[in-house]
Structure formats: structure tokens, C-alpha cells
């Protein structure tokens, strides 16, 4: 069987593309990926997505999108693409032992945040541990927070968080920062920002409350550990776009898919949406918008 359209990923971008393409009668097949619903499923409250004045949990938002797409005939499968051959149309996608072919393909596989690798980090994700200051910053009004990282992303997060937090600690495991000079200078002049360099987070503390109450920091030069109080830990050590199976086929830049003229990639009939190509905005609403673009572009391609 050759499908009209296969969508890889079931986050905001993938499910929005599914809604639009299903309403157009394309009967899209969605391979959910290793993290069904994407990064939004680890976000507790979403207050900046239009149409929900009281807010909504990330998990509920992606679930509603999925149900809306299924209402119009989209089919979701709990599988993740493990191989892609885009050398000829119809395209070949493998998910484990299963094979699928499609005339058009939307890649909405997202980007996975890099984590510290701590058990407490995963356990407290959404309970004080966050990977998105823009998403979760307003929940940390008048309390101290920690930002882990030394690049521009970490400094952008820290600067944004000063609008809400009482104090922002930038924790970096080296004494040299990777952020641009202008970002560092801006942080140094902000009275709410403190630098904790040559320090690494060895544990995130909750004092039995199942929410962040502090962090344990290890001095990388002396080995001495120190605990500081904080209510939020923002991990900003980079993201990895999920594009490995497309290497050597799709045009990539810093592992992100390059798109032109809307959502079009360098291969005709293949489109990209969401964080897999967006390393700047990375919001639920921008992912949804790019999913709409990809679906319309795919529809036009198939009609032509």
C-alpha cells in the first residue's frame, strides 16, 4: 500500500499537519515517534497557547490535537521511524520490522533536549525542572531559580527569567563561558543574575516534597559540594534535532533540516515542520503554525 502522506512525529507540528491533511481527505498516517506528543508532554501548565484562557496541561493539549485529527480520519501508530530512503518516490520509511511507502512525507520529529543524566532530574521534570523558560518562567515568581549552561541559550533563558524570579543563578561547569560577549556583559549588569562557575549540578533536591527545593553543586576544581536553595532548575545545555536517519539525504545545518519556500526541503515531496528545523522560537504555537504550512504544501504537491 502506498499512502498519500506519512507524518513523522505527533507533537504540535505533527498533529496540526495531521488535522489539516486529514480534513483535505489525504488520510495521513502518523508514526508517533519515541516520545508520543513531543516535548509538550513534559510541560505541566501551558498558559500561552491561544484559546485556553485558564491554561491547559501540555499532555491534555496534544491529546486534544490528536483526537481532532482522528476525527477527520488521521491514523496514529505507536511506532518510530528507524530508516528512511528518500532517493525515489514513493518514499520508503521503516519502523522496526514494518515498512511504509508514501507519495509525500512531513518530518516533524522534533528536537530532544540534552539532559544532565540525573535520576532526580527526570523525576522532577515538570515539578520544578524545566527545559523551557518561555514556557514555564511565569510559574516562578519571586523565588530563586538556577539555569544550567554556559552558551547563548542559557543566557537568554536567564535574562528572561529575571522578569519573574527573585534571583537567577547561572551554573556552568567551566570557568570559561561559551556565550557571546554581549550576552555575558548583559548578564553581568543585571543585579538579579549571579554566576556560579566551575560548578556542576550533582543532584537536584526535593526534601521529600516531590518538587524542587534546591540543588547540590560540586566544585569541579576542589570536589567540594555545596547545597543552595532554589525552586526551579532550567536545563539549557542544548538540543539535538532528531534527524539522524535523514543524514546524507536532507540538507541539514547544525543537524537541523533546512527549509525554503515555506516548509519545502531539498527533496521534492518532503516537508519539515516544528523544532526539527526551528532552533530559534521552539514554541508550541510556532510548531503548530509550521505544521499547518507543511500540510498545505504537501496537499499542493500531491494535487500537482
Residues 105-149: tens digit of each pLDDT: 999 999 888 899 999 999 999 899 998 888 889 999 999 999 999
Provide the CATH number for the domain around residue 26. 3.50.50.60
pLDDT, position 108: 97
% of the chain with per-residue pLDDT over 90: 81
| Average predicted confidence (pLDDT) for the chain | 94
Q: Is 185 a catalytic residue?
A: no
Residue ending a domain, among 189, 215, 235, is 235
Average pLDDT of 31-41? Answer: 84
- Is the predicted pLDDT of residue 89 greater than 80, yes or no? yes
Residues 56-87: tens digit of each pLDDT: 988 899 999 999 999 999 999 999 999 999 99
> 54 and 12 in one domain?
yes
Residue ending a domain, among 235, 257, 289, is 235
Domain interval for residue 50: 2-112+239-303
- Is the predicted pLDDT of residue 239 greater than 70, yes or no? yes
> 160 and 17 in one domain?
no
pLDDT, position 180: 87
Q: Is 292 a catalytic residue?
A: no
- Is the predicted pLDDT of residue 41 greater than 80, yes or no? no
> 255 and 298 in one domain?
yes
> 230 and 129 in one domain?
yes
> 73 and 215 in one domain?
no
Distance between CA atoms of residues 254 and 143, nearest Å? 35
> 224 and 270 in one domain?
no
Average pLDDT of 259-281? Answer: 95
Among 136, 275, 278, 297, the active-site one is 136
Q: Is 12 a catalytic residue?
A: no
pLDDT, position 179: 87
> 176 and 187 in one domain?
yes
- Is the predicted pLDDT of residue 42 greater than 70, yes or no? no
- Is the predicted pLDDT of residue 238 greater than 80, yes or no? yes
% of the chain with per-residue pLDDT over 70: 99
pLDDT, position 43: 64
pLDDT, position 112: 85
> 274 and 207 in one domain?
no
> 124 and 93 in one domain?
no
Among 12, 63, 132, 278, the active-site one is 132
> 157 and 137 in one domain?
yes
> 244 and 221 in one domain?
no
Distance between CA atoms of residues 104 and 241, nearest Å? 21
pLDDT, position 34: 86
Among 135, 275, 278, 297, the active-site one is 135
The total number of structural domains that make up the chain: 2
Average pLDDT of 98-103? Answer: 98
- Band of pLDDT at residue 25, cut at 50, 70 and 90: very high
> 95 and 119 in one domain?
no
- Is the predicted pLDDT of residue 153 greater than 90, yes or no? no
pLDDT, position 135: 82
Global pTM exceeds 0.85: no
pLDDT, position 100: 98
Residue ending a domain, among 217, 235, 253, is 235
pLDDT, position 132: 86
Amino acid at each position: 500500500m502506498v499512502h498519500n502522506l506519512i507524518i513523522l512525529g505527533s507533537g504540535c507540528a505533527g498533529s496540526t499537519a495531521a488535522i489539516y491533511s486529514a480534513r483535505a481527505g489525504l488520510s495521513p498516517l502518523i508514526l508517533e515517534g519515541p516520545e508520543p506528543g513531543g516535548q509538550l508532554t513534559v510541560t505541566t501548565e501551558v498558559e500561552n497557547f491561544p484559546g485556553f484562557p485558564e491554561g491547559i496541561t501540555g499532555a491534555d493539549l496534544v491529546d486534544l490535537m490528536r483526537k481532532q485529527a482522528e476525527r477527520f480520519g488521521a491514523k496514529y501508530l505507536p511506532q518510530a521511524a528507524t530508516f528512511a530512503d528518500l532517493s525515489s518516490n514513493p518514499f520508503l520509511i521503516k519502523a522496526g520490522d514494518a515498512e511504509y511507502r508514501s507519495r509525500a512525507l512531513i518530518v516533524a520529529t522534533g528536537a530532544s533536549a540534552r539532559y544532565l543524566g540525573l535520576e532526580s532530574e527526570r523525576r522532577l521534570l515538570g515539578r520544578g525542572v524545566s527545559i523551557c523558560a518561555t514556557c514555564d518562567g511565569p510559574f516562578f515568581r519571586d523565588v530563586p531559580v538556577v539555569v544550567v549552561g554556559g552558551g547563548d541559550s542559557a543566557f537568554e533563558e536567564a535574562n528572561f527569567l529575571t522578569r519573574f524570579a527573585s534571583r537567577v543563578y547561572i551554573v556552568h561547569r567551566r570557568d570559561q563561558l561559551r556565550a557571546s560577549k554581549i550576552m555575558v556583559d548583559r548578564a553581568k549588569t543585571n543585579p538579579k543574575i549571579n554566576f556560579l562557575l566551575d560548578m556542576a549540578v550533582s543532584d537536584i533536591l526535593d526534601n521529600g516534597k516531590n518538587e524542587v527545593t534546591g540543588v547540590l553543586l560540586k566544585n569541579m576544581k576542589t570536589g567540594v559540594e555545596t547545597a543552595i536553595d532554589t525552586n526551579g532548575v532550567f536545563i539549557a545545555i542544548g538540543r539535538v534535532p532528531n534527524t539522524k536517519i535523514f543524514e546524507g539525504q536532507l540538507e541539514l545545518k547544525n543537524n537541523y533540516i533546512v527549509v525554503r519556500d515555506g516548509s519545502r526541503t531539498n527533496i521534492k515531496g518532503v516537508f519539515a515542520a516544528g523544532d526539527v528545523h526551528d532552533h530559534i522560537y521552539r514554541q508550541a504555537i510556532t510548531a503548530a503554525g509550521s505544521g499547518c504550512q507543511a500540510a498545505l504544501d504537501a496537499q499542493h504537491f500531491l494535487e500537482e
